[in-house]
Amino acid sequence: MLTLDARERFFERADIVIDGSRITAVHAPGAHPAAGAPAVREIDGRGLLAAPGLINAHTHSPGALLAGTMDTESHPAFMWLNQADTSARTPREVYVSAMLNAVQMLQAGVTGAIDHFPAQNFGPEDIAAAVQAYRDSGMRMALAVRIFDDTFGDLFPRDTPLPPDVERELARLALLPPRPLAQTRALTEDAIARHHVPQRRLSVLPAPTNPVRCSDALLEMTRDIAQRFDVGIHTHLLESKVQTRLALERHGCSMVEHLERLGLLSPRLSCAHTIWVDDRDIERLASHGVTVVHNPESNLKLGTGIAPITQMVAAGVPVALGTDGSVTNDNVQMHEAMRLAATLGRCSEPDRRRWVTARQALAMATAGGARAMQLADAGRIEAGCRADIVLYDPRRAEWTPVNDPVRQRVFAETGASVHTVRVDGEVVVEAGRIVAFDAEAILDEARPMLAAIRARNAELHGFARRMRELFP
């Protein structure tokens, strides 16, 4: 058993005692006072490796239907095409896409995630559909309500104006119309008041889509809502180089410094990507306890850059891991994210003592993700913690022989060895099969969905393709 507790304990054999949703004890086999007493359920884990569940600290469930739809697009072109594929969805399509995301994560040992949702303006019915999906899935989820009130200035060419006909078409289609601030506040607060029930594995939090697409008033509103409801804040931050330039033009300082001035930098805040930061920004993030969510695969696929994670770790910035959505990553496989997090910066760092180790990468995917989700009692196996546990089958080839469980979980495992997954003590995957819901039915329903959405959004796709021509 790999505990990942403060003492870094590893047990060749051990019993994990669970009462309700909590781990109450970790003991040598048969050593617990209640050993031999009747139990509600006993799982025979002999021959299996127990470990804390993985946490995907940044994903987008609307992208679950979009694997294989992008390859060499620029970041702006990707964004426009993504809007065409995710706009005007029905609540059922929202539900199935969220469930499809959950299927992929659960089968690969992910017990919790932050869903930056949705990809465009939304209504209460969309929030309710996603909430129902995550309750049905059995996963632990933080629904990060994605809000904005400014233009998506980073998605337009900076050197030339848009052609007049494109300007007119953009105004007519109104793909990303900002809402009045009061309406955004009401929608966000209503979502938290209705659905934020952490004891039922579901949190709801405000989540600006990106600070460069938000007014200071919205950002300050986000800060105040998070403090009032005692929830986290999630956002994209400095994913592309143009966003750095926009921040300097607008605020006369880096976006990180501007967020500091607004009082948003705190342990409540988790920031996805965070690529284009300098040493002073890194110091600010570290001093305020902001969690950076590293998304190495999507950053590489889109060519947006490589986050300076080695420098962040050295400076003491808390780091979590995310996959981003399947539209930019084509999967939500956290084992791949861990492997890249550990290896990506090594060629540019001559001092091997500063390399991200397998243990550090695993901590990003467990304790780091728990921190981003505002969970102080997750990411490890010890008494008092939430019973979010994964059992791997080490009899598979990638584990044979078991030389080092941490290194093999990070460098060798693909998710294919996941045998059992428990969330809050409840079994949601058993013998590699999801038992919390009918996964095959979800897959069957999801298969024709994107074709139907694209037929409905044919006009939007035509406009997106035109925008792609402007971003060669």
Q: Is residue 375 part of a domain?
A: yes
Query: Can you point out the beta strands (E) in 118-215?
Result: 140-147, 202-208
Per the structure, the complete domain to which residue 59 belongs is given by 49-387+431-441
Token output for 452: 């139907």
- Ramachandran bin of 293, using left for φ above 0, alpha for ψ from -120 to 50, beta for the remaining angles: beta
76 near 467, Cβ under 8 Å? Answer: yes
Distance CA 236, CA 71 (A): 21
241 near 213, Cβ under 8 Å? Answer: no
Cα–Cα distances in angstroms (integers) from residue 54 to residues 119, 327, 436, in the given order: 24, 21, 18
pTM summary value: 0.95
Task: Give the per-residue pLDDT at 407.
Answer: 97
Q: Is residue 412 part of a domain?
A: no
Q: Is residue 170 part of a domain?
A: yes
Q: Is residue 211 part of a domain?
A: yes
Please choose, from the candidates 399, 397, 389, the residue with its C-alpha nearest in 3D space to the C-alpha of residue 106. Answer: 389
Distance CA 74, CA 96 (A): 28
**Quick one: angle between helices 449-456 and 91-107, nearest 10?**
140
DSSP assignment of 213-232: GS-HHHHHHHHHHHHHHT--
Q: Is residue 22 part of a domain?
A: no
Q: Is residue 145 part of a domain?
A: yes
Q: Is residue 378 part of a domain?
A: yes
Task: Give the per-residue pLDDT at 155.
Answer: 66
- List the end-to-end C-alpha distance of the chain, in Å, as a whole number: 51
**Rounded to the nearest 5°, which phi and psi values hold at 33?**
-55, -25
Instruction: Show pLDDT as tens, one digit a residue, over the chain (472 residues).
Output: 999 988 888 888 999 999 999 999 998 776 665 555 556 678 888 999 999 999 999 999 999 999 999 898 887 788 888 888 998 899 999 999 999 999 999 999 999 999 999 866 789 999 999 999 999 999 999 999 999 998 766 666 555 677 888 778 777 776 677 889 999 999 999 999 999 999 899 999 999 999 999 999 999 999 999 999 999 999 999 999 989 998 999 999 999 999 999 999 999 999 999 999 999 999 999 999 999 999 999 999 999 999 999 999 999 999 999 999 999 999 999 999 999 999 999 999 999 999 999 999 999 999 999 999 999 999 999 999 999 999 999 999 999 999 999 999 999 999 999 999 999 999 999 999 999 999 999 999 999 999 999 999 998 888 888 878 877 6
- Ramachandran bin of 379, using left for φ above 0, alpha for ψ from -120 to 50, beta for the remaining angles: left
Q: Is residue 242 part of a domain?
A: yes
Distance CA 344, CA 361 (A): 11
Any idea what the CATH number is for the domain that residue 356 is in? 3.20.20.140
Task: Give the per-residue pLDDT at 177.
Answer: 76
Split into its structural domains, the chain has a count of 1
